[in-house]
């Protein structure tokens, strides 16, 4: 996983948005990976149902900090990384 510089609210979020797993390269395949940040910088909780689905969240589940939200209308497709 590429390390992207962003503000992380707490250690738990930092840990869960960094892929520490040496077995799974895809965060969706790793049961230890709880948070996914998509290409629009939105935060989501990964649903480990075998697919690549996640639930977008507005607040950090650990410390309650409001996460940077992206207005879907402001998202320019494609090109945003």
Q: Which residues bind Zn ion (CB under 5 A)?
A: 9-10, 13, 21, 23-24, 30, 32, 60, 62-63, 65
Query: How far is the C-alpha of 3 from the C-alpha of 42, rounded, in Å?
Result: 15
Quote the least distance from Cβ 30 to Zn ion, whole Å.
3
Nearer to Zn ion, 32 or 38 (CB): 32
> Based on CB atoms, which residue is closest to Zn ion, 58 or 75?
58
* Strand (E) or helix (H) holding 14: helix 11-16
Least distance between Zn ion and beta carbon 37 (Å): 13
For 57, counting Cβ atoms within 10 Å of its Cβ (0-12 exposed, 13-18 middle, 19+ buried), the class is middle
Comparison of 8 and 70: residue with beta carbon closer to Zn ion: 8
């Amino acid at each position: 996983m590429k390390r992207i510089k962003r503000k992380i609210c707490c250690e738990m979020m930092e840990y869960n948005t960094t892929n520490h797993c040496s077995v799974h390269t895809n965060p969706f395949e790793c049961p230890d990976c709880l948070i996914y940040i998509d290409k629009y910088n939105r935060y989501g909780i990964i649903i480990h149902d075998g697919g690549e689905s996640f639930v977008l969240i507005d607040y950090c589940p650990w410390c309650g900090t409001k996460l940077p939200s992206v207005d879907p209308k402001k998202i320019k497709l494609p090109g945003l990384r």
